[in-house]
Structure formats: structure tokens, C-alpha cells
Amino acid sequence: MPPVFAILGVARIAPKAFLAPSRGLCEVRGIASRSPGRALEFAREQGLSKAYGSYLEAIEDPDVTAVYVPTPAATHVQWVSRALLSGKHVLCEKPFSLCGNEAQALVAQAHSAGLALMEAHHSYYHPLRPAFMAAVAQMERIDSVEVVFDAPIADETDIRLSSQLGAGVFLDFGGYLLSWLGWVTEARGGAGLSALEIESALAQVRPAEIDREMRAEARLNLPEGSVRGLLSCSMEPGVEFRARITVRGPKAGVVFENPLSLEGSFLETSEGSRITSPPAPSTYRGQLEAFCLQIEGGPVARHTGQELIAMQTLQERVYARAGLLSRFELSRVTY
């Protein structure tokens, strides 16, 4: 039986990342908000049957079997834990938590309850990813890997600039970069995220401790030896959107342009071949299909369990290498 979802929070991402891909796949019973009026307005706009007066009311609805959590990052742990305690499966937007210890505790809670718990990393379900993996696997040798994600954020009231809610470009964008490096290690027969080590990091901060730009260097421990990985991301107002994976070797290279979306994405090799994205449902649809399949007893989805913990731990290490407070520590500091 398909899962019945409730959404916690009237986040801007919810219609695109969850409601649209849910059609014909699962039931979305309703939406909850800290403001009952906002929940009612969202439910009417999106054609949902129910507007809950609080997150807790949605979680305790006996007809709901799963929740989607797109609330601000610093609130994820509280509501993910409460949902798991009520026996609900949880799909949680990235960043899943503010530190590795929080992630480890929630993964253990989900495992003990026999519930599905997944961090939303939709780019894994891009239809060009298998071709990218195959191209990287066929390279004679890899010399370096570079991953980039820049997107401007001009609104100074954006929650990603709030130290209490989970601030910083790497907390928000960095999971993509780490995930993409993990694809490369897997393609070469390595251990995904577990094969990554953070060597150094440098942040541009404004105001104190809030990274607007982050550049980091990682080591990819592959079966053939160690490879240098460069990560960079920016949310400065003046940057242009970029999302790209570049894998370089002595004779060959592979570029994956825009792994985030089907629009404008392509795969290009140094030999001159170019593959554009085939017609396919959105990456968000693939993500939700995988999560629903796990709920229904199918294979375990990606970005669950130890992979989820590894992601949060690596993000925490980047901040440490940059000489910044962990996002968990920052959320408890008042400036």
C-alpha cells in the first residue's frame, strides 16, 4: 500500500521537490505549519485535503504513515526524532542535521524502530548519472576531480544566513559536492563517501562564522591510489549559477554539467562526445520513488544509514578545517 504523507512546514521547496513528484505515486494527506493560517492557505493553493494546526498534530495523525520535513536545518533533529517516535517514516531535506552525532542518534532511532529515514539528495537520481559513472570507470587513470556549486542568494533575511537556523553555504550546498565526489570513488571501485578525507578548507565569512564561500581540498582514497579533489561553493549575491563535476586524467576527462537538474545538463568527454539528458521524470521523482519503494519493503534507498552519517560528519570536518565553529555550536551562540 502506498505511503500516506504529511508535510511539516510550508517551505518554498515543497511544491517542486515533493508535491509535484508525488502525483500518482503516493498520497499527501496535508500540510502543517507553525501558523494554522499559513497551513490553510498552502493546502488550498496546492489542493491538499487537510491543514494541520501544528507539526505535532500532523505527526500524530493515525492515517499518516510518513512525513516530509523541509523545515529549517536546525529544527530537523527535533521533528525527525518526534516523527520516528510516532512510528512514521521520514524523508528529510538536506542538510539533515548540524553535526555527525545528531545524525548518528537519529539513524540508530530509525533502525531500532524499523523505519525508513532518508536525506533528500535528489541529484543521485539524475538520468545521466549512470553514463557519468561508466565514463569515469573507463578512464585509464584519474589525476584530479573538481566539483563546483555556486548560486546567488541576495536576500539578507534568507534562513541560510541565520546562525540559529543553520547558516552557511557549505551546510546547504556542500552535501551536493561531497555526494558528487562519492560518485567518483564508487565509479572507481571505492567506498563512496567513506573514501573521502578533508585535507583543508578556506571560507569567506560575513558576518562572523557565516560562510558565504567555501573552498576545500579532499583526498579521494581509490583502489588505484589517492587522488586530489577540489570543492568550491558560493552563495554571494553576484555569482552566476554553476553546478559541475570535472574529472581529469592524463589523456581523458569527463565533465558532468548541472547534475542538479535535467534542464541544461549534459555529459562531455575530452574526446569530444556529448550526451544530453534524455527525457525523464524529475530527479525529485526518482528520489521519492526510491523512498516509497523502501517503505513498501523494497531495497534500501541511498543517503540512509551509514551514508547519511558520513555526509554530516564530512560537512562538520570541512568547517573544522576552515577554523569555524561547527554548525551545531554556531546555532547555540548569540552574537
pLDDT in tens, 156-173: 999 999 999 999 999 999
SS in 3 state form for the chain? CCCEEEEECCCCCHHHHHHHHHCCCCEEEEEECCCHHHHHHHHHHHCCCEEECCHHHHHCCCCCCEEEECCCHHHHHHHHHHHHHCCCEEEEECCCCCCHHHHHHHHHHHHHHCCCEEEECHHHHCCCHHHHHHHHHHCCCCCEEEEEEECCCCCCCCHHHCCCCCCCHHHHHHHHHHHHHHHHHHHCCCCHHHHEEEEEEEEEECCCCCEEEEEEEEEEEECCEEEEEEEEEECCCCCCCEEEEEEECCCCEEEEECCCCCCCCEEEECCCCEEECCCCCCHHHHHHHHHHHHHCCCCCCCCCHHHHHHHHHHHHHHHHHCCCCCHHHHCCCCC
Question: In CATH terms, is domain 4-122 a member of 3.90.1150.10?
Answer: no
pLDDT in tens, 196-255: 999 999 999 999 899 999 999 999 999 999 999 999 999 999 999 999 999 999 988 999
- Domain definitions of the chain by residue range: 4-122, 125-330
Give residue 153's pLDDT: 95
Question: In CATH terms, is domain 125-330 a member of 2.40.370.10?
Answer: no
Give residue 335's pLDDT: 53
Segments of the chain with pLDDT less than 50:
none
Q: Does residue 50 carry a catalytic annotation?
A: no
Predicted TM-score (pTM) of the model is 0.96
Give residue 61's pLDDT: 97
- The catalytic position among 50, 88, 94, 251 is 94
